[in-house]
Amino acid sequence: MRSRRPHLVLLPLLVAAATLAGCTLGPRRAATLRAPWAGERTLAVAPLLNESGSVHADGVRLADRLTERLNGAAGVTTVPVNRVLAAMERLGLAEVRTNEEAVALRDGLGVGGLVAGTITAFDPYDPPKLGLNLGAFYTAPATPAAPAPDTGTGTGTDADADREVWAVAPGAPDTRALARAARPTRAEVRAAGPAATPGPVAAISRVYNASNPGLQDRLARFARHRGTDYARSDTDARLHRISADLFAEFVAYEAAGELLAASPGR
């Protein structure tokens, strides 16, 4: 009678080897997006302007996709697009086209940053193509006040310093008088008008073309996982190329990651 002991010993080893092979050779999960700053910041996405020339490009739906992807990033919370639309109606904004409008909408929502931009290209047919110009208008972080210069007079208030009589050596220029003379007059300030609103703190401009081999690889990896730990059918990559909505979901993931990577760390 032949012994079955060797087979019983080998069976657990074979199972362990198969498990390790599956862990090693299996497809990787799509990377989790992460903000570069510490803590959390609330962001909003304005409906994108459609400058693609196609009537089928939907700026509101794409803003919703971007909001969903940003909300999944570590360090980011978002407000829904319908709340952004309500704020735009309250502010009398039909669209967000200028820096001033973006900042006004951001402040009206009370969020830490607003993403606005345009759809520059849109072709839903295989291989699909989607172009985006995006800018992030963040609120300025609180910065500590600069220390007062050491004048050798000890501590005191600004008013005390203004009242103090400064001794000027004979022949030396009076620097305080020069500083006062260099200041613009009120008439000059009024003539110059208000300062221009700063542009976006971070910006990207991309055309995501599914005919690009590198993008095809990233699309296939995204389609297999789509934010889960379970591999999906390889045919999902094909579905993401023939479905404009699924391709837009992938583009939103890519664009959100690139915009966060271009953002400052505070």
- What whole-number distance in Å separates Cα of residue 110 and Cα of residue 114? 10
Q: Are strands 202-209 and 113-123 parallel, antiparallel or unpaired?
A: unpaired
Q: Which 3 state secondary structure label does DSSP give 251?
A: helix
Q: Is residue 93 part of a domain?
A: yes
The DSSP secondary structure of 74-114, one letter per residue, reads BTEEE--HHHHHHHHHHHT-S---SHHHHHHHHHHHT-SEE
- Residue 197, amino acid: T
Q: Is residue 229 part of a domain?
A: no
Question: How confident is the model at residue 62, as a pLDDT?
Answer: 96
CB atoms within 10 A of CB 117: 28
- Domains in the chain, number: 1
Element (H, E) at 138: strand 129-138
Q: Is residue 65 part of a domain?
A: yes
Question: How confident is the model at residue 84, as a pLDDT?
Answer: 98
Q: Is residue 216 part of a domain?
A: no
- What whole-number distance in Å separates Cα of residue 96 and Cα of residue 93? 7
Question: How confident is the model at residue 104, as a pLDDT?
Answer: 96
Percent of the chain beyond pLDDT 90?
44
Residues spanned by the domain of 49: 41-140+198-210+244-261
Which residues in the chain show pLDDT less than 50? 6, 8-29, 142-169, 172, 175, 178-179, 189, 191-193, 227-235
- What whole-number distance in Å separates Cα of residue 186 and Cα of residue 110? 32
Q: Is residue 165 part of a domain?
A: no
Whether this model's pTM surpasses 0.75: no
Question: How confident is the model at residue 183, as a pLDDT?
Answer: 52
Q: Write phi, then psi, for 262 (nearest 5 degrees).
A: -85, -5
Q: Is residue 128 part of a domain?
A: yes
- Residue 262, amino acid: A
Q: Is residue 2 part of a domain?
A: no
Per residue in 97-130, pLDDT (tens digit) is 999 999 999 999 999 999 999 999 999 888 899 9
Strand partners for 137: 114
| Residue 79 CA: distances (Å) to CA of 59, 67, 146, 160, 249 | 17, 8, 35, 48, 18
Q: Which two tokens stand for residue 117?
A: 């931009």
Question: How confident is the model at residue 202, as a pLDDT?
Answer: 92
Q: Is residue 7 part of a domain?
A: no
CATH code for position 80: 3.40.50.10070
Q: Which 3 state secondary structure label does DSSP give 118?
A: strand
CB-based contact 13:27 (threshold 8 Å): no
Question: How confident is the model at residue 166, as a pLDDT?
Answer: 35
